[in-house]
């Protein structure tokens, strides 16, 4: 920290921050932009926020491997630690020169990012960071170190501690704290420790050897073997839980020669060259691929020109449509998906937003397609560089096991543009024309942004990097694996390797963690959907819009001469093919595309003329002489005679038959009369047209035509479809077939006997139910006539059971499921399970009633039964 | 960056023939690319897995192929294509067929997973025997052809190192008295012999018989020659006696009429495929002697049963001869896998440029149907339509006009429909050779045509192949077998024998306009058009008017 007066050592992170100048604070906020949203009110709040777990985790995830290792070492060092101690942990007793050189940089980064504060003789890791990085049994540290002696002996009986101290050859002390301190300092003293270990039996040393690089925990039985006993006695292994022992941190560090990490990696792994080619070859290959990219996108859009595939309800392209598109483009599905996504990212296609949503070209496509090829490519390349959509995921499944479809949701990975730019920057760091090995690029990326936890090679960043390499090749950013000069120009200033190796080492803060590129709150780094961040404008990296325009212009300048020059001629051959030995000028290509079928595509295009294709051209409004002139003009070779004949033959028959619609016609053997009609102004409304000397076609319907002609003083006759004269008088107006109306009698039909008897029975039963004289219910309040009987449930049940035994009918009140009440006369047959099964006189059938729906029951008067 | 070659992403190669490097490029790509079309300006080659594997078999590696493409290509070669070439060529040779001293024919691999993969295939399982060790499996000797064909279809072509049997030795020498094999014929024999088995593609009239004779002289072993018909068999015999040390007694004819088996036996496809009670009694011919060489003439006509039997003959050297390896049934690849890859191919126009076949003027004469014929054509049943338009009355008038125009030259009139031919014969006052004409009668007529005693001959499709009529200079085709491309080429071949005075041959195809006939004609001409024979189109009215 560069303050003028030497202030007293800060006592907290907030105080440490307070001593920092504006530039240094700005650097902090740039590196950890989450701290400014929202803007903290004061430095104390800033310090508090910088110490929150989420923010610290995020900051740690953005550290390169060496800086992270430094932080890990600090987490196992004393608090506060002197720089010397840290250096010892990182560089070991041997003081590895590379580490010694790199460490100040790493410490500076940690300090800048407010993960570390305090002077060099009192370095303190922010507490949250220390908690995150310090080893614990649940979260073993990547250092493989165990707890310190003090932590491991906490809770041990003082007597046992004194035994250990004595066994280790130290004087016994009066309290446990000083004993532990003495033990720790013994373990920390290389000379005395070596002397102690020199006495150790060989087998015991082997045990230590096994635990030294971690994990530091081991299992012991209740009665440990002699070699373990020796170690346990001297505290070289300390018990943690029954049956488990741990090697104290100090012991491990002694055995490691002071190293906190088995392999400190102060220098980023170099990106290795796989092949070196002449830069011209690389540029040409990339330009060839760039041209293919343009052709493919154009072809895709052409395929979708007259209505693209439908948008799935969940968004995206169905698997079937993708397959169809892949077939149409003659590509594999993942490739087709890449091009579709690229066109989407470049804004060339979008959903049309209609009721039945389909994908369609955007108006921008029409603008794009008119630009010079190099500009078109630059637009695609920039869209790719900046885009967060990752076509590589298509076909996979998301967390909810839904298939990820092309153009669909769930494909945004916010880390993608940063990884792309980083990979290309690494490529740009190689000499021109050099292609790197994919493994070394991946290793370098893994160093720059290490995963906390176990290393895998299928993590998102590695996959993104692999996709970047293959997509860059497809797009012509790279040619045969090496970065092309046009792409170099496109990347602009960011592409130039910056600074020496040490700077590269700390470069993650400035280089990869590009403030605009990843400058937004980010959880695990890849989960947040793209639209949460208003970054696309800045995403192409470090370049300002103006710089980007300059870079684009430079790329266009470099690329343009490498793209094949559009031709204005083709070679016509007698086998009815035309070969365009290179790309054609657009108008020429368009006409030829209609006039002939494309047989083969690539650098050149082979067209075949068929009767069908020639007819297509004629249908498109061209005449045979147009076509002859067109071919003669654009063919570098004489037009072969069979082709001339083909066009003439098709043209001769084309349009020979004419088809049109007319509503009615007028025919007359006397063409003079037809002339007269045509000349008459009153005929204008009939819209007559002469088809032949004796035939006029009209757009008016026959009746109107007849009336019209009559009004003009003619006497036309109507003609039937067969050509007979229609006699109007004969055909009166008729309805379609109709049946005669049914007679409506005065009352309902007289019922037959059966119906009558059934009706009577029903009436009687109803009558019985409502009028049956009943016995008075004892404890019931006097009931109004017609009211439902009410009895207690117990009475109801008893009465029912009695009725079953006697076989008598009873009178009940019943409330059905809809709540409507009725009265019924039933003869109970069975009472069980809360139900009464009975013959219902009212309904004349056997029914079952739930007892709880029966409001009450009354016996019928004797006289009835 | 201005080479003559354009490499297309669909694996076709376009070669600009007028480019100064075109010849060098052609030589560089010929070993691995198949010539597909050779019209006047741009020749089309195609990269196929088969072609790449053949190149591997002939000792070329992927690096050479890639270098040739990159060197001559005008535009950058698509990276994916280069990768694909390397991968495809890498598949060859993972499996080898060889002779094992103890186990006979074995299939070995240098890449164990490949062997595991193919052994899991249902189609391979019945063809192999016991697993000898993890990398070797025994193969039934009789399945050598089958397994090669199957592996090819599975995409793992086997390198066949099992060699050939020498067969029964028999002295045969070329009798080069006053003539010699032409350079391309020598090259063809050499390529064939070097490759062991395979197909030689030469234009009609370019002397394929001599390539056969040359190969026999190389093999010096008993030879079985399979030809299309008896007349052709006689011509082979005649030619062999004339051109080699073989005598009449050494050559046998095995046909419908004669069943001679001699050191050199010429058999017809027809007799081999005669079927009685569900068996082919004459296929035994293949086993009747220890043949050292089997020659298949007109291999594009090879009938299916012979295919099947050929699969069992993989230990014998096989030579296929043809002018047009286009089969309308698409079985070209079977020819390649059973007889062998294409060992030699020469574009027609190249041989013509060297003066070994006559230059030809191909003319399509379009005739109009009369109004009555048009109505009849329109109402004809689908299967009768072609016949209606192909036999229109106008064709007769046009044919007569052409015959009059070339009066004094040797003219062949070729057609499909016997009534039409009979009628033409009557009007032209010329003899007609058709299916029912006896062999003796045919030979007599051909001989008098050769001698110039008759100048016009009307023939049906029996004369499509292998009829050696060097003096014919004009051929008039009035109808054909629908859209058969190879028939058209063969018919043109009738007039391509070089003329003593070096003058041009004429090939007239009379076609009814706006009918099926014209569609078929367009298809028929495709092969020749792709070989660079540009058809000129004439109106019948024009032709008749010129006359008048």
Q: Would you place residue A535 in the very low, low, confident or very high pLDDT band (cuts 50, 70, 90)?
A: very low
Kindly state whether residue A17 falls inside one of the protein's structural domains: yes
**A602:B8 CB<8 A:** yes
Chain A: residue whose CA lies nearest to B539: A645
Residue ending a domain, among A560, A584, A616, is: A560
d(Cα A141, Cα A145) in Å, to the nearest integer? Answer: 7
Mutate to test the interface with B, among A602, A609, A647 (most CBs of B within 10 A): A602
| A417 within a domain of the structure (yes/no) | yes
Residue A775 within any structural domain of the chain? yes
Between chain A and chain B, the number of residue pairs with CB atoms below 8 A apart is 102
A604 → closest Cβ in B14, B364, B532: B14
Residue with tokens 């695609």: A380
Closest CA to A798 of A864, A841, A860, A859: A859
Verify whether the Cβ–Cβ distance B40 to A637 is below 8 Å. Answer: yes
Residues A537 and A415 occupy one common structural domain: yes
DSSP code, position A466: H
Percent of chain A at pLDDT > 90 equals: 6
Of A504, A521, A423, A415, give the one whose Cα is nearest residue A461. Answer: A415
Task: Please state the rounded mean pLDDT for residues B261-285.
Answer: 85
CA distance B245 to B222: 13
Q: How many CB atoms lie within 10 A of CB B71?
A: 14
Which of B8, B514, B537 minimises the CB distance to A601?
A: B8
Collect all residues of chain B within an 8 Å Cβ-Cβ radius of residue A564.
Answer: 75
Is residue A355 assigned to a domain?
no
Q: How confident is the model at residue A785 (pLDDT cuts 50, 70, 90)?
A: low
Q: Tell me the pLDDT tens digit for each residue of A371-399.
A: 888 999 999 998 998 888 888 888 888 77
Looking at the DSSP assignment, which residues form a beta bridge with residue A317?
A: A311
Residues in chain B within 8 Å Cβ distance of A598: none
In a domain, A777, yes or no: yes
pLDDT at A497: 41
**Which DSSP letter does residue B250 get?**
G
Whether residues A581 and B14 touch (CB distance < 8 A) is answered with yes
Digit-coded pLDDT (tens) for A564-600: 888 889 999 888 899 998 888 888 888 898 899 988 8
| Domain end among A526, A560, A594 | A560
The answer to whether position A791 is within a domain reads yes
Distance (Å) from the C-alpha of residue A502 to the closest C-alpha of chain B? 37
Choose the closest CB to A642 out of B6, B78, B537.
Answer: B537
Chain B residues touching A643 at Cβ < 8 A: none
How far apart CA B9 and CA A601 sit, in angstroms, is 7
**Count: domains in chain A:** 6
pLDDT digits (tens, 9 = 90+) for B75-92: 888 877 888 899 999 998
Q: Say yes or no: A538 and A620 in one domain.
A: no
CA of B216 vs chain A CAs: smallest distance (Å): 38
Contact A101, A266 (CB under 8 A): yes
Q: In what order do the strands lie in the sheet with B432-433?
A: B432-433, B456-459, B411-414, B474-477, B505-512, B360-367, B536-539
Average pLDDT of the segment spanning A99-106: 89
Q: Would you call A96 an interface residue with chain B, using a CB distance cutoff of 8 Å?
A: no
Helices (H), B348-438: 348-353, 371-379, 382-390, 393-405, 418-428
| Rama region for B330: left / alpha / beta (φ>0; ψ in -120 to 50; rest) | left
Mean pLDDT of chain A: 80
Q: Which of A602, A605, A573, A576 is nearest to A590 (CA)?
A: A605
Residues of chain B in contact with residue A637, where contact means CB-CB under 8 angstroms, are: 40-41
pLDDT band at A772 (very low <50, low <70, confident <90, very high): low
Would the CB atoms of A285 and B79 count as touching at under 8 Å?
yes
State residue A861's pLDDT score. 65
Do A581 and B42 lie within an 8 Å CB cutoff?
yes
Confidence of residue A765 (pLDDT cuts 50, 70, 90): low
Decide if B7 contacts B81 (C-beta within 8 A).
yes
Q: What are phi and psi of B133, to 5 degrees?
A: -145, 175
Q: Are residues A52 and A120 in the same domain?
A: yes
Confidence band for A526, pLDDT divided at 50, 70 and 90: very low
Q: How near does any CA of chain B get to the CA of A646, in Å? A: 10
Residues of A within 8 A of B9 (CB-CB) are 292, 330, 601-602
Are residues A390 and A467 located together in one domain of the fold?
yes
Sheet containing B104-109: give its strands across: B128-133, B136-139, B104-109, B95-100, B158-160
Clarify whether residues A575 and A642 are in a common domain: yes
With respect to residue A319, please indicate whether it lies within any of the assigned structural domains: no
Give the pLDDT confidence of A473-503 residue by residue, as tens digits: 889 898 888 898 888 888 875 444 433 333 3
Q: What is the layout of strands, in order, in the sheet containing A238-241? A: A217-219, A244-246, A238-241
Nearest to B342 by CA among B210, B200, B189, B212: B200
CA distance B365 to chain A (A): 12
Same domain, A506 and A456: yes
Name the β-bridge partners of B34.
Answer: B46
C-alpha span between A706 and A728 (Å, rounded): 12
Cis geometry, peptide bond prior to residue A255 (ω within 30 degrees of 0): no
> In the structure, what pLDDT confidence band is assigned to residue A520 with cuts at 50, 70 and 90?
very low
Is A579's CB within 8 Å of B41's CB?
yes
- CA distance to partner chain B, nearest, from residue A297 (Å): 15
Q: Same domain, yes or no, for A832 and A765?
A: yes
Residue A583: closest CA among chain B residues belongs to which residue? B75
Residues B498, B355: Cα–Cα separation, whole Å: 7
Q: Which of A105, A133, A161 is the last residue of a domain?
A: A133
**What string of DSSP letters covers A666-706?**
EE-S-HHHHHHHHH-GGGGGG-EEEEETTEEEESS-HHHHH
Question: Using an 8 Å Cβ cutoff, are B266 and B188 in contact?
Answer: no
Note whether A415 and A446 are same-domain residues. yes
pLDDT level of residue B13 (50, 70, 90 thresholds) = very high
N-terminal to C-terminal alpha carbon distance within chain A: 114
Query: Do A288 and B76 count as a contact with CB atoms less than 8 A apart?
Result: yes
pLDDT for residue A452: 67
Tell me which residue of B491, B485, B434 sits closest to B467, measured CA to CA. Answer: B491
User: Which of A284, A285, A600 is facing B8, going by the closest CB pair?
Assistant: A600
Structural domain boundaries, residue A777 = 760-859
pLDDT of residue A551: 86
Q: Give the gap in angstroms from C-alpha B512 to the nearest C-alpha of chain A.
A: 13
Per-residue pLDDT of A141-175, as tens digits, reads 778 888 888 888 877 788 888 888 888 878 777 78
Answer yes or no: do A649 and A672 share one domain.
no
A617 and A705 in a single domain? The answer is no
What value does the mean pLDDT take over residues A252-277?
A: 85
Angle, vertex CA A285, rays to CA A283 and CA A286, nearest 5: 65
Q: Is residue A284 part of a domain?
A: yes
Token look-up 């270098």 returns B67
Which residue, among A288, A476, A574, would best test binding to B if mutated, counting the most B CBs under 10 Å from its CB?
A574
Closest residue in A to B8 (Cα) is A602
Can you list the positions of beta strands (E) in B286-326?
Answer: 293-296, 317-322
Closest CA to A413 of A350, A348, A359, A462: A462
| Burial bucket for residue B57 (CB in 10 Å: 0-12, 13-18, 19+) | middle
pLDDT digits (tens, 9 = 90+) for A599-656: 888 778 899 999 899 999 998 888 999 999 999 999 988 898 889 988 998 898 888 8
pLDDT of residue A604: 86
CB contact under 8 Å between B40 and A480, yes or no, is no
Distances in Å between the Cα of A758 and the Cα atoms of A750, A842, A847, B114, B350 are 14, 12, 18, 87, 108
From the list A252, A111, A232, A255, the residue with the least C-alpha distance to A164 is A232
pLDDT score recorded for residue A457: 62
pLDDT tens track for B183-204: 899 999 998 988 888 889 888 8
pLDDT score of A729? 60
Same domain, A595 and A689: no
Domain identity same for A554 and A509:
yes
Contact A288 B41 (CB under 8 A): no
Using a CB–CB cut-off of 8 Å, the residues of B that contact A are 1, 6-10, 12, 14, 16, 37, 39-42, 44, 73-79, 364, 366, 513-514, 526, 529-530, 532-537
ipTM (interface pTM): 0.83
């Amino acid at each position: 920290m560069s303050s003028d007066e030497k202030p007293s050592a800060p006592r907290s992170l907030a105080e440490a921050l307070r001593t920092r100048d504006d530039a240094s604070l700005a650097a902090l906020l740039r590196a950890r932009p989450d701290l400014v949203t929202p803007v903290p009110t004061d430095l104390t709040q800033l310090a508090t926020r910088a110490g929150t777990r989420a923010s610290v985790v995020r900051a740690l995830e953005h550290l390169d491997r060496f800086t992270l290792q430094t932080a890990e070492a600090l987490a196992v060092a004393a608090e506060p630690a002197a720089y010397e101690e840290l250096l010892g942990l990182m560089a070991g007793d041997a003081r590895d020169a590379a580490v010694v050189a790199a460490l100040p940089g790493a410490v500076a980064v940690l300090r800048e990012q407010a993960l570390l504060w305090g002077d060099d003789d009192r370095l303190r890791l922010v507490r949250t960071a220390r908690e995150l990085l310090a080893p614990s049994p649940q979260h073993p540290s990547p250092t493989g170190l165990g707890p310190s002696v003090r932590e491991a002996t906490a809770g041990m009986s003082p007597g046992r501690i004194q035994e250990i101290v004595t066994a280790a050859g130290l004087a016994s002390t009066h309290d446990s704290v000083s004993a532990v301190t003495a033990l720790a300092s013994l373990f920390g003293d290389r000379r005395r420790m070596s002397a102690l270990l020199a006495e150790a039996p060989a087998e015991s040393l082997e045990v230590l050897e096994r635990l030294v690089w971690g994990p530091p925990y081991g299992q012991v039985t209740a009665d440990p073997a002699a070699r373990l006993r020796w170690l346990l006695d001297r505290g070289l292994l300390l018990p943690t839980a029954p049956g488990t022992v741990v090697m104290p941190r100090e012991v491990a560090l002694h055995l490691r020669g002071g190293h906190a990490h088995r392999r400190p990696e102060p220098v980023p792994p170099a990106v290795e060259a796989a092949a070196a080619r002449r830069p011209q070859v690389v540029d040409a290959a990339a330009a060839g691929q760039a041209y293919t990219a343009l052709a493919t996108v154009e072809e895709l859009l052409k395929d979708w020109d007259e209505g693209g595939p439908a948008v799935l309800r969940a968004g995206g392209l169905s698997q079937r449509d993708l397959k169809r598109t892949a077939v149409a483009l003659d590509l594999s599905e993942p490739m087709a998906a890449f091009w579709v996504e690229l066109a989407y990212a470049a804004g060339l296609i979008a959903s049309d937003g209609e009721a039945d949503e389909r994908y369609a070209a955007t108006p921008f496509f029409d603008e794009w397609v008119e630009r010079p090829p190099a500009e078109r490519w630059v637009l695609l390349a920039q869209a790719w560089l900046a885009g967060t959509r990752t076509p590589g995921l298509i076909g996979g499944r998301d967390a909810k096991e839904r298939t990820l479809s092309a153009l669909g949701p769930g494909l945004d990975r916010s880390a993608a543009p940063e990884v792309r730019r980083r990979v290309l920057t690494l490529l740009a760091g190689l000499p021109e024309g050099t292609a790197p090995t994919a493994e070394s690029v991946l290793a370098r990326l893994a160093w720059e942004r290490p995963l906390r936890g176990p290393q895998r090679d299928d993590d998102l960043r590695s996959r993104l990097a692999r996709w970047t390499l293959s997509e860059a090749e497809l797009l012509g950013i790279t040619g045969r694996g090496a970065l092309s000069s046009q792409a170099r120009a496109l990347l602009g200033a960011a592409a130039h390797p910056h600074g020496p190796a040490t700077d590269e080492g700390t470069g993650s803060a400035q280089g990869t963690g590009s403030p605009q590129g990843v400058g937004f709150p980010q959880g695990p780094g890849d989960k947040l959907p793209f639209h949460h961040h208003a970054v696309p404008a800045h995403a192409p990296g470090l370049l300002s819009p103006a710089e980007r325009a300059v870079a684009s212009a430079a790329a266009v300048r470099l690329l343009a001469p490498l793209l094949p020059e559009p031709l204005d001629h083709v070679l016509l051959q007698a086998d009815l093919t035309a070969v365009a030995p290179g790309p054609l000028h657009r108008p020429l290509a368009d006409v030829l595309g209609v006039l002939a079928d494309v047989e083969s595509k690539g650098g050149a295009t082979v067209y075949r003329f068929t009767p069908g294709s020639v007819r297509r051209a004629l249908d498109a409004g061209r005449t045979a002489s147009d076509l002859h002139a067109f071919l003669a003009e654009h063919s570098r070779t004489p037009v072969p005679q069979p082709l001339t004949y083909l066009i003439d033959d098709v043209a001769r028959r084309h349009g020979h038959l004419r088809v049109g619609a007319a509503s009615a016609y007028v025919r007359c053997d006397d063409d003079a009369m037809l002339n007269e009609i045509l000349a008459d102004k009153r005929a204008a409304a009939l819209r007559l047209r002469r088809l032949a000397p004796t035939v006029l076609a009209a757009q008016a319907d026959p009746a109107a035509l007849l009336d019209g002609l009559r009004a003009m003083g003619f006497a036309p006759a109507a003609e039937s479809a067969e050509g007979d004269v229609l006699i109007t008088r004969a055909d009166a107006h008729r309805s379609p077939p109709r049946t005669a109306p049914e007679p409506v009698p005065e009352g309902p039909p007289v019922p037959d006997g059966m119906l009558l008897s059934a009706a009577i029975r029903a009436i009687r039963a109803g009558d019985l139910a409502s009028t049956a004289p009943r016995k008075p219910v004892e404890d019931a309040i006097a009931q109004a006539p017609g009211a439902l009987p009410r009895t207690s449930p117990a009475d109801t049940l008893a009465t029912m059971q009695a009725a079953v035994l006697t076989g008598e009918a009873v009178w009940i009140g019943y409330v059905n499921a809809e709540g409507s009440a009725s009265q019924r006369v039933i003869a109970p047959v069975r009472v069980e399970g809360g139900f009464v099964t009975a013959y219902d006189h009212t309904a004349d059938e056997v029914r079952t009633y739930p007892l709880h729906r029966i409001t009450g029951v009354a016996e019928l008067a004797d006289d009835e039964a | 960056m201005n080479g003559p070659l354009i490499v297309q992403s669909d694996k076709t190669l376009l070669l600009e023939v007028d480019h100064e490097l075109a010849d060098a490029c052609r030589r560089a790509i010929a070993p691995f690319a198949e010539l597909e079309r050779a019209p006047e300006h741009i020749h089309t080659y195609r990269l196929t897995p088969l072609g790449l594997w053949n190149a591997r078999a002939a000792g070329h590696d992927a690096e050479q192929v890639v270098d040739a493409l990159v060197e001559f290509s005008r535009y950058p070669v698509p990276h994916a294509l280069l990768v694909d070439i390397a991968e495809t060529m890498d598949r060859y040779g993972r499996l080898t067929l060889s002779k094992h001293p103890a186990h006979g024919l074995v299939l070995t691999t240098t890449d164990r997973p490949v062997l595991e993969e193919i052994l899991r295939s249902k189609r391979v399982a019945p063809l192999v025997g016991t697993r000898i060790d993890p990398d070797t499996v025994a193969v039934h000797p009789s399945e050598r052809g089958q397994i090669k064909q199957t592996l090819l279809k599975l995409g793992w072509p086997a390198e066949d190192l099992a060699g050939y049997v020498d067969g029964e030795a028999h002295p045969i020498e070329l009798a080069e008295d006053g003539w010699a094999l032409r350079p391309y014929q020598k090259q063809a024999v050499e390529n064939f012999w070097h490759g062991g088995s395979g197909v030689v593609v030469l234009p009609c009239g370019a002397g394929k018989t001599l390539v056969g004779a040359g190969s026999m002289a190389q093999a010096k072993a008993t030879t079985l020659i399979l030809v299309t018909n008896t007349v052709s068999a006689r011509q082979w015999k005649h030619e062999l006696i004339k051109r080699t040390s073989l005598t009449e007694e050494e050559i046998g004819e095995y046909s419908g009429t004669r069943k001679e088996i001699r050191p050199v036996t010429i058999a017809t496809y027809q007799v081999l495929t005669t079927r009685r009670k569900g068996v082919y009694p004459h296929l035994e011919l293949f086993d009747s002697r220890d043949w050292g060489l089997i020659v298949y003439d007109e291999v594009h006509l090879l009938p299916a049963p012979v295919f099947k039997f050929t699969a069992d003959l993989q230990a014998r050297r096989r030579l296929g001869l043809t002018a047009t390896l286009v089969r309308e049934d698409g079985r070209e690849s079977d020819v390649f896998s059973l007889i062998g890859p294409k060992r030699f191919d020469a574009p027609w126009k190249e041989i013509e440029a060297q003066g070994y076949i006559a230059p030809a003027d191909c003319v399509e004469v379009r005739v109009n149907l009369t109004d009555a014929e048009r109505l009849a054509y329109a109402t004809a049943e689908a299967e009768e339509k072609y016949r209606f338009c192909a036999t229109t009355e106008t064709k007769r008038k046009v044919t007569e006009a052409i015959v009059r125009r070339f009066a004094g030259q040797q003219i062949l009139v070729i057609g499909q429909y016997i009534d039409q031919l009979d009628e033409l014969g009557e009007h032209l006052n010329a003899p007609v050779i058709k299916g029912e004409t006896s062999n003796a009668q045919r030979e007599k007529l051909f001989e008098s045509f050769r001698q110039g005693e008759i100048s016009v001959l009307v023939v049906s499709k029996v004369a499509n192949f292998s009829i050696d009529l060097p003096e014919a200079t004009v051929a008039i085709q009035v109808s054909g077998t629908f859209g058969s491309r190879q028939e058209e080429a063969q018919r043109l071949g009738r007039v391509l024998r070089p003329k003593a005075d070096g003058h041009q041959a004429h090939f007239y195809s009379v076609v009814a306009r706006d009918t099926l006939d014209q569609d078929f004609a367009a298809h028929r001409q495709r092969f020749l058009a792709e070989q660079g024979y540009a058809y000129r189109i004439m109106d019948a009215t024009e032709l008749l008017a010129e006359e008048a």
